[in-house]
Amino acid sequence: MIEIINISKSYDDYPAVKSLNLQMNEREVFGMVGTNGAGKTTLLRMMAGVLKPDEGRIVIDGESVWDNPAAKSKLFFITDDAYYFMNATPEDMKEYYRRIYPAFDTERFGNLISNFGLDTKRRISGFSKGMRKQLSVIMGICSGCKYLFCDETFDGLDPVMRQATKSLFAKDMEDRGLTPILTSHNLRELEDICDHVGLLHEGGILLSRDINDMKLNINKLQVVFETEDDRTELESGLEVIIHKEQGRLHTYTVRNNRETVESILGGIGTVFAELLPLTLEEIFISETEVVGYDIKNIILS
């Protein structure tokens, strides 16, 4: 488990992270979303022990991560723009990481490099951004670490490689209990892989929710009522977050489970009624509007 306790970090007079508290459970994919400047990378760097918080502490499996090699040995940090030694090849980097991480799987490294179509003898400086990102993911997976911190991991990967990367994460979660922590500015990128999502904004955490809980307890409803009394009865029986009206068609986003909505619909008169699934982006739009933020100005779609 990773515990982030009242963390703050400023650069000169700019507060990058402000009094942030967060918990990340083992064997779950935790996604952090937000625009550039929201504090995602700074938070990851502090979690990895690269940056020291101005205030607060970060604890990994009961140990403070700052200046603690034992805690750091449990994690691998894949940065958005990974640094490699000058003129280094994938083979060189394998030897480097093999000396740092005792559980580094050299055989699997060779298999994955081959499967991803990367040349172990070619200088990494000649790789494209996507190829460098693929190499970083392979290094992280083969390190044998319990926690994998990934800053914009899917940026630069084509759709096939994105899916391949997600499949690698899923396999290692099942086989050895890997816990990936992912950041992105794109909710759609995280929707099919994350168990839990946190929304960062201006250095703080706006929301932290289990995705399944959100999807079960918030629904979208489109309905045409027979009478105004039917409309009043539905609205009084549900927790309406958003209501839009186009002619006779009413669209509601409600904080109720499907069974509750269907029960109320069964007791009123409707000309048309349909329950629709919500995307993760729609859920977050609803949740953030409730707390007074317009997510359209916070997250890039």
Contact 178, 169 (CB under 8 A): yes
pTM of the predicted protein model: 0.80
Distance CA 100, CA 73 (A): 8
pLDDT of residue 301: 42
Give the 3-state secondary structure percentages of the chain, helix then strand then coil, rounded to 5.
35, 30, 35
| Helices 129-142 & 106-115 angle (0-180, nearest 10) | 150
Q: In what order do the strands lie in the sheet with 14-24?
A: 14-24, 2-11, 55-60, 63-64
Using CB atoms within 10 A of its CB, is residue 107 exposed (0-12), middle (13-18) or buried (19+)?
A: exposed
The candidate with the shortest Cα–Cα distance to 44, out of 171, 161, 153, is 153
pLDDT of residue 203: 83
pLDDT of residue 83: 83
Distance CA 222, CA 253 (A): 9
Distance CA 72, CA 147 (A): 10
Distance CA 79, CA 77 (A): 6
Amino acid at 33: V
Angle at 194 between CA 192 and CA 196, to 5 degrees: 140
Contact 276, 195 (CB under 8 A): no
pLDDT of residue 296: 56
Sign of the Cα torsion 71, 76, 80, 86 reads positive
Which phi and psi (to 5°) does residue 86 adopt? -60, 130
Q: DSSP class of residue 255?
A: S
Pair of tokens at residue 93 = 């980097």
The candidate with the shortest Cα–Cα distance to 132, out of 100, 197, 66, 85, is 85
Amino acid at 99: R
Using CB atoms within 10 A of its CB, is residue 117 exposed (0-12), middle (13-18) or buried (19+)?
A: exposed
Q: 240-246 and 196-201: which strand pairing?
A: unpaired
Pair of tokens at residue 41 = 């990378």
pLDDT of residue 232: 94
Per-residue pLDDT of the chain (301 residues; tens, 9 = 90+): 999 999 999 998 888 999 999 999 999 999 988 777 788 889 999 999 999 999 999 999 999 999 999 999 999 999 888 888 889 999 999 999 999 999 999 999 999 999 999 999 999 999 988 899 999 999 999 999 999 999 988 887 888 888 899 999 999 999 999 999 998 877 777 878 889 988 888 888 877 888 888 777 888 999 999 999 999 999 999 999 889 999 999 999 898 888 999 999 999 999 999 998 787 777 777 766 666 666 555 544 4
Contact 204, 53 (CB under 8 A): no
Write the DSSP assignment of 160-214 as a string of letters.
Answer: HHHHHHHHHHHHHHHHH--EEEEEES-HHHHTTT-SEEEEEETTEEEEEEEHHHH
